[in-house]
Structure 1
């Protein structure tokens, strides 16, 4: 049975009981009719009916099995992610057991409990949708909005991977909520778990050829890497068939086994019984547009066009990833690096080849080291490229030169290119609730709008008719969804993960803590004389897993203990540089002792237009540590911009009440009002 290097085959065994050895370190018995995955060097002995299958890196004819994590065992015995979840969902208990807790992730859900409560744990489930490119049809948005009120905690959360998270669903309601999402043109399949997660792409609904291709490619990659064994629909809608028109090129690429990427005759031709070693993330974009944090993904795909704008192919980055463990130096965040270029008709085959390389060689013994970034760091890019090329069946072309990346938020009003408009709305920390939630629903329902979610936790209203721009703008402003010029620049680029009270991994606050942190940073800015229009990219996470991508921030705060953070410095505004650890275990109440000298030094010693992140990299951490340690809290010259704006207590109190509704202080809001008045007056005169 000859196969190409790295190839994987399967056989159907009937009327016999056989034992399989070594497939991804597995040993299990299969009865008649079983699908048995076979790796290269597999042998079938007709006399003994014994199948021996050896998976790299185990050598043939050895009895030693590599260690494997508990999750690998759960997957092995799950009948393609069904058992014991299917049984646990039927019990009266409010929670599910350990194996089912791991398996339900593949269905797009995490079991959680409220960590603010004391005594008996109050279990609930978080559901995460899967929305390639952040696309949310009108019907799905309205369904999610209703589900949040009826079965959740009354809010929707926008994630850093262009999806919704619905918190607080109790076990007995899971099937109702899941089936509603599915029947409303949505899905949660693969939003979590050891498989491909949501595929990112620029959320802006431009009709330009390169943007259209990027979004179509993201859709196709998502379809290609979607599980095929039916476990999701069996569990939540009793196996009901959901009609979906899959592009023929996706079906063709999935079924192609010319170079041994597939498990023939398996319900999961790409994933097999064990799926991937860990989560897998893909993003697609166009040159200059780094709204997707392209270098933080396992695979980054970039459209490459001719000078006249006709897309020709794709550059491929590989090996990005954020997760790490505090003070374990063998774990680390990593940026993706160039792998090569492929013509546009080959993109699905190359993506599949990369996934197969990680599937067959990624570590399955210790989940801390199972992401593809560790495989590439261990092998080096040349060896990894060679393995991918064997699955791809040809050589990758050299990586094409790209222009410099820019962060694009797409906030405010823009033309789509087809006569319609879109409006990008800033949502602090991605949390939609209260009057904002009510107003968004009314607008989306009244004007029959589709929406898109951005990787920066914001929302875009799409396909707006120009005649409806004015009434929509008025309704948004009344709900506190302000034009970006009225939002504090610090808030515009800030992100935080949910952390407490529901995330079981959280060490300290993130989403609940960042509003106060941003206010305090703004106060430091004013104290040291930085202008209101200036900003730094701030990201806060409650643990080191990096869900809000803090390791790309100019100022990253990473939970490092109760009410304390690691401080990371050195990212850049266009998200192309990796930050580094500056200080450990800084108590939240002591942040000003670090931030004041850093921002004061930046104000005084920066070069022309030098960002805070670039400044910290140029000065160096040794010098910055010395500055922080010697800081005496004295500002040489107080800011001439820190003006007293209130002549009476009554005006101050009224402004303060308005400011609190926008998570600001009275001084900040007053400065915005004055500034915008002056701008409007100037524009009026200029007109």
Structure 2
């Protein structure tokens, strides 16, 4: 007798390779929603159903259903797009969503407040730009992220190419996307396997891959299921160190769920990197926990079975073992703002974008400015993993015209980006995220403003500190890698975490639980004052807290692996 599958697994098996009844749900004009099962399946297609939580009570009083809409996320490996694509995506923001573009922590765009009758149109407009949303969500490999600028050197370009190849190779293949969103006639045939790699159950949970180029860890590679560390010598890409088993999410009260940083397990050459990723994803496909969904991430597969087990399985799946890891050093995980010139003489400008929101406000006409830049820019745009934006690949001749627009719209005005804000990230949270317990994106500026006063009073107005804020314990803004981090517990109340390092190689620790803003600020003030008086030269806040035994150091898997790596 066959064992009954868990509900989430049975849903995938019965979905006819991600079709479900999505088409029927989209055609139902009596509701702005789709069914619960189809809501789970549309995640594979890059979209989450949400409702506008600020209006829930009012709509309930009016006997109306919640104001349902959808968040749509693009698959954009490496975060690169050209000017024509930028202008097209900007048009979509007005045509199909709420008039804003949001840069995510995985180098792509999200649209918010997309109503059901606009979903197919948005997908069609996106595909017409040479882009798609496949696998931006769901139990498959997600958007592959990498170093922020592929044009800085020949090696950077090779790394970006690897990100694209990995993403394309691990993208799901079912005809459901073309059938549902593009109107193509793709008749489902029972018994035919449309997913030669994933099969009809796909992965146990989502899977994330990131690539970094030392000394910069701007993709927070150890927070990913697979982290690839580019090894470059004399300008040539030799290959990648491979880390496995990272992940940020956890559930309050569930001690078997926890954030974890990846273990460095070996090295592969560039020609083997795609096959290496496929082999590792296949191990998770075949051995990941499909019974208990909160325990289904690859980090738990690694934690439960151990590294020796993983190495044995990898050798079987890949056909040969990993080589020994090579030395590397990581020093930071933030972005480098301002102008940078690449080896080929081209220029690149990194702009700070608060919480990744491309919108026009009374203070800053950012969306208008970027549209005007896209009209004249002949290079590319690049989204960073810290929700910022690079205007990339600008020639000497084109630089003055870009500089003029940047100045006109005050995009690179240092007064708009105080030091604390440069490395601060927040998830969307309220009012649209169904998981949010507290504010995040909307609250972050207010919180930072009060923290900036404390920093200025302590004589540290220009000191960089990695600050992360989320509305729940999940990892959308990678909170457990913040030197200071807040995760929402309830409206106006947060857990306070302290003590991560500045380069993404040490987790923070829970310091206070379920506290309000006053308690948080009153706790941070004396710590920051002590930091100002007793820090060593160039010491970061998280390292100071650990050195002074204010926070116990988290012994991470990164630090425990056997390769001789400078950290």
TM-score (normalizing by structure 2): 0.91
Indicate whether 1:439 and 2:376 are aligned. no
Matching of residues 52-91 of structure 1 within 5 Å: 63=1, 65=3, 68-91=5-28
Residue matched to 1:628: none
TM-aligned CA deviation for residue 385 of structure 1: 1.5
Indicate whether 1:130 and 2:75 are aligned. yes
* Pairing partner for 2:473 from 544, 549, 554: 544
User: Which SS does the other structure have where 1:303 is aligned?
Assistant: strand
Indicate whether 1:299 and 2:226 are aligned. yes
Indicate whether 1:283 and 2:221 are aligned. no
Give the Cα separation in 2 of the matches to 1:68 and 1:543.
Answer: 29
* Pairing partner for 1:225 from 147, 170, 174: 170
Contact 1:412 1:484 in 2 (8 A): no
Give the Cα separation in 1 of the matches to 2:80 and 2:305.
Answer: 36
Residue matched to 2:542: 613
* Pairing partner for 1:461 from 391, 395, 418: 391
User: Which SS does the other structure have where 2:267 is aligned?
Assistant: strand
Distance change in 2, residues 1:88/1:168 (3 Å): same
Give the Cα separation in 1 of the matches to 2:428 and 2:43.
Answer: 17
Contact 2:460 2:532 in 1 (8 A): no
Contact 1:582 1:621 in 2 (8 A): no
1:609-655 deviation digits (Å, cap 9, x = unpaired) = 2211011112224799xxxxxxxxxxxxxxxxxxxxxxxxxxxxxxx
Indicate whether 1:336 and 2:336 are aligned. no
RCO comparison, higher one (Cα < 8 Å, 6+)? 2
Matching of residues 167-206 of structure 1 within 5 Å: 167-206=112-151
Greater Cα radius of gyration, structure 1 or 2: 1
Give the Cα separation in 1 of the matches to 2:277 and 2:296.
Answer: 18
Contact 1:500 1:510 in 2 (8 A): yes
Indicate whether 1:553 and 2:498 are aligned. no
Contact 1:135 1:203 in 2 (8 A): no
Structure 2 unaligned segments of length 5 or more: list them. 554-567
Give the Cα separation in 1 of the matches to 2:428 and 2:552.
Answer: 34
Matching of residues 24-423 of structure 1 within 5 Å: 63=1, 65=3, 68-92=5-29, 93-117=31-55, 118=57, 119=60, 120=64, 121-239=66-184, 266-305=193-232, 307-423=233-349
1:408-465 deviation digits (Å, cap 9, x = unpaired) = 5132111133332111111011001011101110111123442111000011112223
Give the Cα separation in 1 of the matches to 2:7 and 2:550.
Answer: 40
Residue matched to 1:678: none
TM-aligned CA deviation for residue 598 of structure 1: 1.4
User: Which SS does the other structure have where 1:140 is aligned?
Assistant: helix
Residue matched to 2:456: 526
Distance change in 2, residues 1:468/1:484 (3 Å): farther
Give the Cα separation in 2 of the matches to 1:313 and 1:110.
Answer: 36
Give the Cα separation in 1 of the matches to 2:459 and 2:248.
Answer: 31
Structure 1 unaligned segments of length 5 or more: list them. 1-62, 242-263, 625-687
TM-aligned CA deviation for residue 179 of structure 1: 0.2
Indicate whether 1:479 and 2:409 are aligned. yes
Contact 1:303 1:311 in 2 (8 A): yes
User: Which SS does the other structure have where 1:592 is aligned?
Assistant: helix
TM-aligned CA deviation for residue 68 of structure 1: 4.4
Give the Cα separation in 2 of the matches to 1:425 and 1:212.
Answer: 21
Give the Cα separation in 2 of the matches to 1:541 and 1:496.
Answer: 6
Indicate whether 1:576 and 2:505 are aligned. yes
TM-aligned CA deviation for residue 521 of structure 1: 0.5
1:526-565 deviation digits (Å, cap 9, x = unpaired) = 22x2222112111100000020001001000110122111
TM-score (normalizing by structure 1): 0.76
Distance change in 2, residues 1:194/1:487 (3 Å): same
Indicate whether 1:514 and 2:444 are aligned. yes
User: Which SS does the other structure have where 2:317 is aligned?
Assistant: helix
User: Which SS does the other structure have where 2:44 is aligned?
Assistant: helix
User: Which SS does the other structure have where 2:199 is aligned?
Assistant: coil
Give the Cα separation in 1 of the matches to 2:415 and 2:343.
Answer: 23
Contact 2:315 2:321 in 1 (8 A): yes
TM-aligned CA deviation for residue 340 of structure 1: 1.1
Give the Cα separation in 1 of the matches to 2:350 and 2:552.
Answer: 40
Indicate whether 1:604 and 2:540 are aligned. no
Give the Cα separation in 2 of the matches to 1:484 and 1:365.
Answer: 51
Contact 1:74 1:99 in 2 (8 A): yes
User: Which SS does the other structure have where 2:429 is aligned?
Assistant: coil
User: Which SS does the other structure have where 1:330 is aligned?
Assistant: coil
